[in-house]
């Protein structure tokens, strides 16, 4: 009678250990992704370099893909999605980076105008 109870306890402890290890690994994964998405710097030139790779390059790739779609309806839908990301998520990314680095709002304005001007070149 005591043996099945011991086995159940060991299975429970093993399960809890695996869940804790998985949660720890997932948290580290999220921390690493966040670090890649949000550079820590006070230099506007480094922020512009980050924006070039993280925002502008992705937008240009998405835009060129949308323009390459042959079906006009699908192309318009994809272009609309890409433009929505430009006007909704790009300003939020810029704002997040500026706030995370405790930089003044003038940096946000300068970085956003830089990103907007570079995105215009893609189109």
Length of the chain as a residue count: 123
> Which string of DSSP letters, residue by residue, matches 22-41?
HHHHHHHHHHHHHHHHS---
Residue 23 or residue 38, greater confidence = 23
Q: Residue 103: CB partners within 8 Å, gap ≥ 6? A: 42
**Do residues 101 and 46 make contact, with C-beta atoms less than 8 angstroms apart?**
no
**pLDDT band of 80, cuts 50, 70, 90:** very high
Instruction: Kindly tell me the burial class for residue 102, based on how many C-beta atoms sit within 10 Å of its own C-beta (0-12, 13-18, 19 or more).
Output: exposed
Q: What is the pTM of this model?
A: 0.65
Of these ranges, 4-13, 18-27, 58-67, the one predicted with the greatest mean pLDDT is: 58-67
For residues 44-62, average pLDDT: 88
The pLDDT value given to residue 65: 92
Q: What is the mean pLDDT of the chain?
A: 85
Q: Greatest CA separation found in the chain? A: 75
Residue 22 or residue 59, greater confidence = 59
**Do residues 47 and 108 make contact, with C-beta atoms less than 8 angstroms apart?**
no
The predicted-structure confidence for 85-106, as pLDDT tens digits, reads as follows: 888 888 888 888 888 888 888 8
Task: Give the gyration radius of the chain's Cα atoms.
Answer: 23
Residue 38: pLDDT above 80? no
Residue 58 and residue 52: Cα distance in Å, rounded? 9
């Amino acid at each position: 009678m005591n043996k099945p109870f011991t086995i159940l306890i060991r299975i429970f402890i093993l399960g809890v250990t695996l869940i804790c290890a998985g949660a720890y690994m997932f948290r580290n994964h999220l921390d690493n992704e966040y670090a890649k998405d949000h550079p820590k710097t006070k230099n506007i030139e480094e922020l512009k370099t980050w924006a070039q790779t993280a925002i502008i390059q992705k937008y240009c790739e998405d835009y060129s893909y949308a323009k390459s779609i042959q079906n006009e309806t699908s192309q318009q839908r994809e272009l609309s999605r890409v433009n929505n990301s430009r006007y909704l998520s790009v300003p939020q990314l810029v704002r997040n980076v500026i706030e995370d680095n405790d930089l003044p709002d003038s940096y946000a304005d300068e970085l956003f105008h830089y990103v907007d001007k570079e995105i215009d070149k893609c189109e």
